[in-house]
Amino acid sequence: FIFGSSGAGNNWAKGYYTEGAELVDQILDQLRHETEACDNLQGFQLVHSLGGGTGSGLGTLLLGKLREEYPDRMLATYSILPSPKVSETVVEPYNAVLSFHQLTENADLVFNFDNEALYDILNKTLKKPNPTYPDLNNLIAKVMSGITTPLRFPGQLNSDLRKLATNLIPFPRLHFLTTSYAPLASASAQSYQKLSVPDLTQQLLDPGHAMAASDIRSGKFLTAAAYFRGENVSSRAVEEAMLGIQQKNSEHFVEWIPNCTQTALTSVPAADSPMSATFISNNTCVQDLFRRTHAQFSGLFRRKAFLHWYTGEGMDEMEMTEAESNVIDLVAEYQQYQ
């Protein structure tokens, strides 16, 4: 564990310029030890939240340093976006927009989650009235486990981080991915649940199973990937189910990328379910998340509210403006393919 004696105080600038910058060399040194022990280093995965100061500031600082030091390795992030319904601090929009700017420039793959969607899944689908942090982490862990299954186990139609990026990202800046997971059911309903490939596929497209609060039916799929796990999953059933999704929802897929879905199969089941599936899509609806955060950001920034906390850490106001215009450009790029 690498730690300092002070926190970033929910301030991106503290994580990026002052408190976090003191730790980053130590972290990189530790990572060098790890990478030297690797036979074939594929890349790095960073798990962080964008609402606080450490995950956003130190997280994106580390990302930039990794990009400099390992320019040809994959950088994937699992990023937890703040949400107005589950807000913990008033400056979350600042931290998030400054992070989006860095993620757009330095990450290869960004898997989006947001607290609002995670709380909704726990409340409505899993019937947990008072979710705890371990419950939220458990959901994110399920998706992470699903995404990395083809990297960790041998299977038919195998994949790795680079292959995933090649298949999912038609334009380098549009690498913000939406995820969903199935099966999700309350403990009491689990024993009655019939699991088949078509059932799981149906659930994957249900907005109630999405890990970010943006409705995939309101946007267009540029690309998608489905990873199935289970002993008796046939590759033919998976291929047919995915083809069925494309044909049934053809108006939600862009015409200029034919056969834009990829699949992977692993016979090793997840610990808590004999059959499960993870869906990753590059869908233009992700712009809703950026729009929502940007609207809150501009509400604060126009009034210069709380800005002194950031400039006091050595940050320039121009950085805020630059990050904001990058997010506006990103929304426009997604809008173009809507």
Separation between Cα atoms, residue 287 and residue 213, nearest integer Å: 11
Residue 135 within any structural domain of the chain: yes
Expressed as residue numbers, the domain containing 227 is 12-32+43-336
**Cis peptide bond prior to 183, omega within 30° of 0:** yes
Domain membership flag for residue 5 = no
Q: Tell me, yes or no, if the pTM score tops 0.85.
A: yes
Pairing of β 275-283 and β 176-182: antiparallel
Yes or no: say if 50 and 292 are a contact pair by the CB < 8 Å rule.
no
CATH number at residue 326: 3.40.50.1440
In a domain, 3, yes or no: no
pLDDT values of the chain reduced to their tens digit, one per residue, 338 residues: 888 777 788 899 999 998 888 999 999 999 999 999 999 899 999 999 999 899 999 999 999 999 999 999 999 999 999 887 777 789 999 999 999 999 999 999 999 998 889 999 999 888 888 888 899 999 999 999 999 998 888 876 667 888 889 999 999 999 999 999 988 876 666 656 668 888 899 889 888 889 998 888 889 999 999 999 988 888 899 989 988 888 888 889 999 988 888 888 898 988 888 899 999 999 999 999 999 999 999 999 999 999 999 999 889 999 999 999 999 999 999 999 88
What region does 44 belong to: left with phi over 0, alpha with psi -120 to 50, or beta? beta
- Number of helices followed by number of strands (H, E) in the chain: 13, 7
Q: Is residue 38 part of a domain?
A: no
Tell me, yes or no, whether 19 lies in a domain: yes
Q: Look at the chain and report how many structural domains it folds into.
A: 1
Kindly report the three-state secondary structure assignment for every residue of 286-303.
HHHHHHHHHHHHHHHHCC
The answer to whether position 37 is within a domain reads: no
Contact 221, 254 (CB under 8 A): yes
Residues 6+ apart with CB under 8 A from 87: 51
Sheet harboring 43-49: ordered strands across? 43-49, 74-81, 109-114, 176-182, 275-283, 221-230, 261-266
| H-only helix segments in 77-217 | 92-106, 115-120, 133-152, 161-168, 187-190, 197-204
In a domain, 172, yes or no: yes
In a domain, 318, yes or no: yes
